[in-house]
Structure formats: C-alpha cells, structure tokens
Amino acid sequence: MGAHVVRYHRWQIETWANAVPPKLRDAQAAARYEQAGRTGIEAAEELAAGERRQESIRRARENLERRPKRIRRKGAS
C-alpha cells in the first residue's frame, strides 16, 4: 500500500514559488498613501480589503441577477 505522502499539487507549489509578496506588489500604492501621511503597509492592507469587499459585492449582485425569481421547492405546495 502506498502511503499518502503528496500533500500538494505541482501547480500549487508553482503558484507559491512565483507569488509576489504583497508588500512588493502594493509598493506604489503604499508610496502614494505614505505621502498622505500613513504607513505604507497599513494603507496597502486597507486597499486590498476594499478591493476584496467590492469584488464580493459584485459577485453577490451577479448571483442575484442569475437566480430565478421564484424558487420552487420539492414538496412545498
């Protein structure tokens, strides 16, 4: 019996290998915010959170549009 050793797929490892550290990625945004008088990392985190929130809101709206108006349940008369 082969013991289950492989925990990650190659693509996962590859994505981790070439993942850009968030501090580097948000360097420009951080610099911009620092001019406004805030620390870069805080600003970058704030920015990321805002983007994530926008994304989730958009997804929720799309799902609402896609959903049929009335859901018929089996057994509900």
Q: 48: Cβ–Cβ under 8 A, 6 or more apart, which residues?
A: 22, 26
Q: Compute how many other C-beta atoms are within 10 angstroms of the C-beta atom of residue 45.
A: 15
Average of per-residue pLDDT values in the chain:
69
pLDDT tens-digit readout, 19-56 = 666 666 667 666 666 666 666 567 677 777 877 888 88
Q: Compute how many other C-beta atoms are within 10 angstroms of the C-beta atom of residue 39.
A: 11
Distance CA 18, CA 45 (A): 21
The domain locations on the chain are 10-66
| Number of helical (H) and strand (E) elements in the chain, helices listed first | 4, 0
Q: Which of 4, 48, 11 is nearest to 26 (CA)?
A: 48
- pLDDT band at 61; cut points 50, 70, 90: confident
